[in-house]
Amino acid sequence: MSPERTELQQVPVKLYRTDDIVTVAAPMPGLEAENIAVDVTGDGRLVLRGQLRGALKDVKELLVDEWSVGPYHREVALPSPVDGEAATVTYGNGVLVVALPVAAKNRPAQLSLAATAPTRGQRVPDAASARAARENR
């Protein structure tokens, strides 16, 4: 029997920007929301991590292994300063989407998701963070 492979994978991303928001989308299939972490660093980088939980180990004979369910890691240089504390993070259908308000200077944050369904999660900023983001524009 061959176990499912679990080497660290660099996630491909799509990076979008409007006047107010920088958005990053990354496929991270096979994870639950609580296994995903998002960091906005003080030097303007976005770090995405997904920890593999419960891989099939010696449960079945693996015949074809063309993709894996994590673990995932990716660092992305952001095109402008953002307010990490006011970020909105969603995860659904295996895709992580991070929406970061553009700000006058980087505001670092460590973000985690709360499960909203078995394979869905979100992190929505509180009212104070959203207000601070509007004031920093």
Answer whether residue 114 is part of any domain.
Answer: yes
What was the pLDDT predicted at 117?
76
Answer whether residue 4 is part of any domain.
Answer: no
Answer whether residue 2 is part of any domain.
Answer: no
pLDDT at 133 over 70: no
Domain range enclosing 28: 9-135
Residue where the block lists tokens 């015949």: 63
Answer whether residue 29 is part of any domain.
Answer: yes
Q: What is the per-residue pLDDT across 43-84, written as a single tens digit (0 to 9) for each?
A: 999 999 998 765 555 667 777 877 777 688 999 999 999 999
Could you tell me the CATH number of the domain that includes residue 34?
2.60.40.790
Answer whether residue 1 is part of any domain.
Answer: no
Answer whether residue 3 is part of any domain.
Answer: no
CA distances from 76 to 2, 118, 119, 126 (A): 33, 28, 24, 25
How far apart, in whole angstroms, are the C-alpha atoms of residue 99 and residue 101? Answer: 7
Residue-averaged pLDDT of the chain: 84
Answer whether residue 91 is part of any domain.
Answer: yes
What was the pLDDT predicted at 2?
46
What was the pLDDT predicted at 9?
80
- Mean pLDDT on 27-45: 91
pLDDT at 1 over 50: no
Answer whether residue 35 is part of any domain.
Answer: yes
3-state SS, 39-96, equals EECCCCEEEEEECCCCCCCCCCCCCCCCCCCCCEEEEEECCCCEEHHHCEEEEECCEE
What was the pLDDT predicted at 65?
73
Domain count, the chain: 1
How far apart, in whole angstroms, are the C-alpha atoms of residue 52 and residue 2? Answer: 18
* Confidence band of 25 (pLDDT split at 50, 70, 90): very high
